[in-house]
Amino acid sequence: MSAPLQTCPTGAMIIGAEPVIGTGKEIRSSDPRTGAALDPAYPTASAEHVERACALAAQAFPVFRATTAERRAEFLERIADLIDKRQDLLVERAHAETALPRPRLTGEVGRTSGQLRLFAAELRAGSWQGARIDPARLDRVPLPRPDIRQRRIALGPVAVFGASNFPLAFSTAGGDTASALAAGCPVVVKAHQAHLGTAELVARAIAEAAADTGMPEGVFSQVVGSGTDIGAQLVRDPRIRAVGFTGSRQGGLAIAAAAAARPVPIPVYAEMSSINPVLLLPAALGSRGAELGAAFVGSLTLGAGQFCTNPGLVLMVEGPGLDAFTKAAADAVATNPGATMLTIGIADHYAAAGDAIAARDGVDELACGSRSGDAAGGCARLLTVDGARFVADPGLQAEAFGATSLLVRCADIAELTAAVSALEGQLTATVHADEADHPLAAKLLPLLEERAGRILFDGWPTGVEVGHAMVHGGPFPATTDPRSTSVGTLAIERFLRPVAYQDVPAALLPAEVQDDNPVGVWRRLDGEPSRDALATESAD
């Protein structure tokens, strides 16, 4: 038996069932308010530690993927229960490491456990298995048709790189881990340096849940590293079969390039960069410009602007309401007290990226909020440019990860359309439209569909529902793979592949494609969705 798992951070990684102290250079998370290094120190993993985590994951894989959906659901629910039980501890540690407000972190604990429970429910519902049966047709001419059945199986061990901005919901037990475990894939997490203690606490909860529910050793590990060595080793390890990543464009592209260069390339699901355009259509702008301006800044400054879906771009046409919107937004930004960003590095990058946009030809600064005196302080910032310039200068689409937004004033609808057409891929696109705007919205909608994973009307993109219909993804550079989502139940499909069974004897068939449908899943029988048993041919 392993030593009893602790509930306060000790500086350990989790490798298989065991807490393990690294042997490399010590790293620490720090308090973004003061820059002070936090205890405990985390000695980084050696190459042997990563090797062992991958070896254990590969060893766990055949056992774990063969567990029933019900058993994996219980595992996920147990993780959720332990995370909920340790809410206070998690919130305190995450608050120390990220300076995110406690209510936001409390919500994030609930989101994290809720997400795990949603995948448990999805596992039991079973549509994810993609079961299909084309029964034999022995009387077909010229040749009889064989019996063919299909289901999806897990890809293999998955490497997960957590996000800086959601220390819980997009990190150690976040959406990537939850969907990979649901699919039957063991997970090796590289903990984010910005919240090592939170990561350790969550990793311990996962390891404890794995032990409680009898999951094989190696189903989950978490390693700690600084720089890119440990991450690169993970991505290159032949036993790793897919990667989930949330972070910078630079980081995502480096991982995707490493994965493509492997002797056996693997899928990379990297969520990277998005400026989340907001379109204010003329009637809406005219009828509620000032109101939109204030609400926009509320979304812009939420979480110090550090949401992947932060509205970094506003597109509108010169006309009634534009000045009212601009004034209201500028006033709100100017009086914004500023906020502590997640890390000093993020705050530095944010300031530099905003300066770079502000320095481009034709860009004017409309307003700048206060900067908090904290080490990682950041200030809200509003820039503006005209539509023609925006269309001509792709550099204006750079992401400044934080509360900076660029207001684009288009001369007319044609210029607005050109600006939309010039957009790179996005996680979201938001439209504010009154009923009189609907004909224009109908024309713009197809352009937005081609450029974004989620389109929302008359709301704000920050805030991502976790459900069945959510898409948190989108064309490059929002992600490296627009065919999927990292939030919501569809995310499980990222870690599955189809297998067909031809004339496989009944006794050897997986449960979900057996004639009598013992697990009660939805299947396509000769193409038609059904939960019925397969009508078997009369024996006489």
Stretch that binds a copy of itself, among 25-33, 153-161, 178-186, 351-359 (CB under 8 A): 153-161
Total residues interacting with a copy of itself, rule: CB under 8 A:
79
Whether the CB-CB separation of 214 and 109 falls below 8 Å is answered with no
Cα gap 429→458, rounded to integer Å: 11
- Check residue 502 for interaction with a copy of itself (CB under 8 A): yes
Sign (positive or negative) of CA dihedral 241, 17, 92, 346? negative
- Check residue 433 for interaction with a copy of itself (CB under 8 A): yes
Question: In the set 456, 511, 519, 533, which binds a copy of itself (CB under 8 A)?
Answer: 456
Question: In the set 8, 36, 37, 66, which binds a copy of itself (CB under 8 A)?
Answer: 66
Cα gap 439→339, rounded to integer Å: 40
Stretch that binds a copy of itself, among 179-187, 199-207, 296-304, 449-457 (CB under 8 A): 449-457
CB 182 to a copy of itself: min, Å: 14
Question: In the set 48, 88, 348, 450, which binds a copy of itself (CB under 8 A)?
Answer: 450
Whether the CB-CB separation of 116 and 492 falls below 8 Å is answered with no
Question: In the set 294, 411, 529, 536, which binds a copy of itself (CB under 8 A)?
Answer: 529
* HEC-encoded secondary structure of 262-312: CCCCCCEEEECCCCCEEEECHHHHHHHHHHHHHHHHHHHHHHHHCCCCCCC
Residues 389-428 that bind a copy of itself (CB under 8 A): 425
Q: Is 410 a catalytic residue?
A: no
Question: In the set 500, 516, 536, 537, which binds a copy of itself (CB under 8 A)?
Answer: 500
Collapsed DSSP state (helix, strand, coil) of residue 94: helix
| DSSP characters over 324-361 | HHHHHHHHHHHT---EE-S-HHHHHHHHHHHHHHHTST
Cα gap 55→60, rounded to integer Å: 9
* CB-based contacts of 443, cutoff 8 Å, min separation 6: 417
Residue with Cβ nearer a copy of itself (3 or 508): 508
CB 158 to a copy of itself: min, Å: 13
- Check residue 496 for interaction with a copy of itself (CB under 8 A): yes
- Check residue 478 for interaction with a copy of itself (CB under 8 A): no
Query: Helix, strand, coil shares of the chain as percentages rounded to 5?
Result: 40, 20, 40
Residues 102-141 that bind a copy of itself (CB under 8 A): 121-122, 125, 127, 130, 132-134
Cα gap 408→365, rounded to integer Å: 12
Q: Exactly one of 77, 271, 415, 424 is catalytic; name it.
A: 271
Q: Is 379 a catalytic residue?
A: no
- Check residue 438 for interaction with a copy of itself (CB under 8 A): yes
- Check residue 18 for interaction with a copy of itself (CB under 8 A): no
- Check residue 264 for interaction with a copy of itself (CB under 8 A): yes
CB 175 to a copy of itself: min, Å: 15
- Check residue 522 for interaction with a copy of itself (CB under 8 A): yes
Residue numbers annotated as active site: 271, 308
